[in-house]
Amino acid sequence: MSDTPPESPDVDAPDFDAMARDIAEVPAVEVIVTVAVNLMSAAAVKLGLTEEGDKYKDLDEARKLVTALAGLLDASATEISSFHAAPLRDGLKSLQLAFREASLVRDEPGQGPGEKYTGPIYG
pLDDT in tens, the chain (123 residues): 556 555 555 667 778 888 787 888 999 999 999 999 999 999 999 999 999 888 999 999 999 999 999 999 999 999 999 999 999 999 999 999 999 999 999 899 999 999 999 999 987
pLDDT for 8: 56
pLDDT for 18: 83
CA distance 57 to 79: 33
pLDDT for 120: 94
- Distances from the Cα of 80 to the Cα of 52, 56, 67, 85, 112, angstroms: 33, 32, 19, 6, 25
